[in-house]
Chains A and B, each alone.
Chain A
Amino acid sequence: MEKLCDYFFIYFCPNLMICKNLFIGIAISNKLYIFFFSLLLPSRRVERAMDTLIAQLQRRFCDFTISLYHQGFLDDQFTELKKLQDECSPDFVAEVVTLFFEDCEKLISNMARALDQTGNVDFKLVGSSVHQLKGSSSSVGAKRVKGLCVTLKECCDSQNYEGCVRCLQQVDIEYKTLKAKLQDLFNLEQQIVQAGGRIPQVDI
Chain B
Amino acid sequence: MEKSGFSPVGLRVLVVDDDPTWLKILEKMLKKCSYEVTTCGLAREALRLLRERKDGYDIVISDVNMPDMDGFKLLEHVGLELDLPVIMMSVDGETSRVMKGVQHGACDYLLKPIRMKELKIIWQHVLRKKLQEVRDIEGCGYEGGADWITRYDEAHFLGGGEDVSFGKKRKDFDFEKKLLQDESDPSSSSSKKARVVWSFELHQKFVNAVNQIGCDHKAGPKKILDLMNVPWLTRENVASHLQKYRLYLSRLEKGKELKCYSGGVKNADSSPKDVEVNSGYQSPGRSSYVFSGGNSLIQKATEIDPKPLASASLSDLNTDVIMPPKTKKTRIGFDPPISSSAFDSLLPWNDVPEVLESKPVLYENSFLQQQPLPSQSSYVANSAPSLMEEEMKPPYETPAGGSSVNADEFLMPQDKIPTVTLQDLDPSAMKLQEFNTEAILRSLNWELPESHHSVSLDTDLDLTWLQGERFLANTGLQFQDYSSSPSLLSELPAHLNWYGNERLPDPDEYSFMVDQGLFIS
Interface residues of B in 308-360 (CB under 8 A from A): none
| A99 interface residue (CB < 8 Å to B) | yes
| B91 interface residue (CB < 8 Å to A) | yes
**A side interface size, CB within 8 A:** 22
Q: How far is the CB of B91 from chain A (nearest CB, A)?
A: 4
What 1/0 mask marks residues of chain B from 111 to 137 whose CB sits below 8 Å from any chain A CB? 011011000000000000000000000
Q: Report the separation of the CA atoms of residues A109 and B325 in the bound assembly, to the nearest whole angstrom.
A: 42
| B25 interface residue (CB < 8 Å to A) | yes
Task: Please give, as numbers and ranges, the residues of chain B lying within 8 Å of A100 by CB-CB distance.
Answer: 21
Segment of A40-48, A129-137, A160-168, A190-198 in the binding face: A129-137
What 1/0 mask marks residues of chain A from 49 to 83 whose CB sits below 8 Å from any chain B CB? 00000000000000000000000000001001101
Say yes or no: A139 contacts B113, CB within 8 Å: yes
**Given A103-B21, A131-B92, A138 and B28 touching (CB < 8 A)?**
no
Say yes or no: A138 contacts B65, CB within 8 Å: no
Segment of A14-22, A30-38, A88-96 in the binding face: A88-96
| A173 interface residue (CB < 8 Å to B) | no
Could you jot down 30 A-B contacts, CB within 8 Å?
A77-B113, A80-B116, A81-B25, A84-B28, A84-B29, A84-B32, A89-B28, A95-B24, A96-B24, A96-B25, A100-B21, A103-B20, A131-B65, A131-B91, A131-B92, A132-B65, A135-B19, A135-B22, A135-B63, A135-B91, A135-B112, A136-B21, A136-B22, A138-B91, A138-B112, A138-B113, A139-B21, A139-B22, A139-B25, A139-B112
Q: How far is the CB of A90 from chain B (nearest CB, A)?
A: 12
With CB as the reference atom, state the residue of chain B lying closest to A141: B113
Task: Please give, as numbers and ranges, the residues of chain A lying within 8 Å of B22 by CB-CB distance.
Answer: 135-136, 139
Q: Given B21, B90, B115, which contacts A99 in the complex, CB threshold below 8 Å?
A: B21
Interface residues of B in 1-45 (CB under 8 A from A): 18-22, 24-25, 28-29, 32
Say yes or no: B19 contacts A103, CB within 8 Å: yes
Task: Please give, as numbers and ranges, the residues of chain A lying within 8 Å of B115 by CB-CB distance.
Answer: 80
Task: Please give, as numbers and ranges, the residues of chain A lying within 8 Å of B21 by CB-CB distance.
Answer: 96, 99-100, 103, 136, 139-140
Q: Report the separation of the CA atoms of residues A135 and B112 in the bound assembly, to the nearest whole angstrom.
A: 7
Given contacts A84-B25, A139-B21, A139-B22, 4 further A-B contacts (CB under 8 A): A95-B24, A99-B21, A136-B21, A138-B112
Question: Which 3 A-B residue pairings sit nearest by Cβ, starting from the closest?
Answer: A135-B91, A139-B21, A77-B113
| A128 interface residue (CB < 8 Å to B) | yes
Q: Report the separation of the CA atoms of residues A84 and B113 in the bound assembly, to the nearest whole angstrom.
A: 14
Task: Please give, as numbers and ranges, the residues of chain B lying within 8 Å of A131 by CB-CB distance.
Answer: 65, 91-92
Q: How far is the CB of B117 from chain A (nearest CB, A)?
A: 11
Q: How far is the CB of B121 from chain A (nearest CB, A)?
A: 17
Q: Which of B21, B32, B63, B91 has the largest count of A CB atoms less than 10 A from its CB?
A: B21
Q: Report the separation of the CA atoms of residues A88 and B25 in the bound assembly, to the nearest whole angstrom.
A: 14
Say yes or no: B92 contacts A139, CB within 8 Å: no
Task: Please give, as numbers and ranges, the residues of chain A lying within 8 Å of B19 by CB-CB distance.
Answer: 103, 132, 135-136, 139
What 1/0 mask marks residues of chain B from 474 to 503 whose CB sits below 8 Å from any chain A CB? 000000000000000000000000000000
With CB as the reference atom, state the residue of chain A lying closest to B32: A84
Q: How far is the CB of A182 from chain B (nearest CB, A)?
A: 14
Q: Report the separation of the CA atoms of residues A139 and B24 in the bound assembly, to the nearest whole angstrom.
A: 10
With CB as the reference atom, state the residue of chain A lying closest to B17: A135
Q: How far is the CB of B137 from chain A (nearest CB, A)?
A: 40
What 1/0 mask marks residues of chain B from 404 to 422 whose CB sits below 8 Å from any chain A CB? 0000000000000000000
Q: Which of A80, A95, A139, A141 has the largest count of B CB atoms less than 10 A from its CB?
A: A139
Task: Please give, as numbers and ranges, the residues of chain A lying within 8 Å of B91 by CB-CB distance.
Answer: 131, 134-135, 138
Q: Report the separation of the CA atoms of residues A128 and B65 in the bound assembly, to the nearest whole angstrom.
A: 9
Q: Report the separation of the CA atoms of residues A100 and B19 in the bound assembly, to the nearest whole angstrom.
A: 9
Q: Report the separation of the CA atoms of residues A89 and B116 in the bound assembly, to the nearest whole angstrom.
A: 17
Q: Report the separation of the CA atoms of residues A21 and B379 in the bound assembly, to the nearest whole angstrom.
A: 85
Q: How far is the CB of A4 from chain B (nearest CB, A)?
A: 36
Q: Report the separation of the CA atoms of residues A131 and B29 in the bound assembly, to the nearest whole angstrom.
A: 23
Interface residues of B in 495-516 (CB under 8 A from A): none
Q: How far is the CB of A199 from chain B (nearest CB, A)?
A: 18
Task: Please give, as numbers and ranges, the residues of chain B lying within 8 Å of A136 by CB-CB distance.
Answer: 19, 21-22
Task: Please give, as numbers and ranges, the residues of chain A lying within 8 Å of B28 by CB-CB distance.
Answer: 84, 89, 92
Q: How far is the CB of A134 from chain B (nearest CB, A)?
A: 5
What 1/0 mask marks residues of chain B from 56 to 68 whose CB sits below 8 Å from any chain A CB? 0000000101000
With CB as the reference atom, state the residue of chain A lying closest to B65: A131
Task: Please give, as numbers and ranges, the residues of chain B lying within 8 Å of A96 by CB-CB distance.
Answer: 21, 24-25
Q: Which of A77, A80, A92, A135 has the largest count of B CB atoms less than 10 A from its CB?
A: A135
What 1/0 mask marks residues of chain A from 120 to 150 whose CB sits below 8 Å from any chain B CB? 0000000010011011101111000000000
Task: Please give, as numbers and ranges, the residues of chain A lying within 8 Å of B32 by CB-CB distance.
Answer: 84
Say yes or no: B20 contacts A99, CB within 8 Å: yes
Q: Report the separation of the CA atoms of residues A140 and B91 in the bound assembly, to the nearest whole angstrom.
A: 13
Q: How far is the CB of B266 from chain A (nearest CB, A)?
A: 24
Q: Which of B18, B19, B63 has the largest count of A CB atoms less than 10 A from its CB?
A: B19
Q: How far is the CB of B392 from chain A (nearest CB, A)?
A: 39
Q: Report the separation of the CA atoms of residues A80 and B22 in the bound assembly, to the nearest whole angstrom.
A: 13
Q: Report the separation of the CA atoms of residues A138 and B20 in the bound assembly, to the nearest whole angstrom.
A: 13
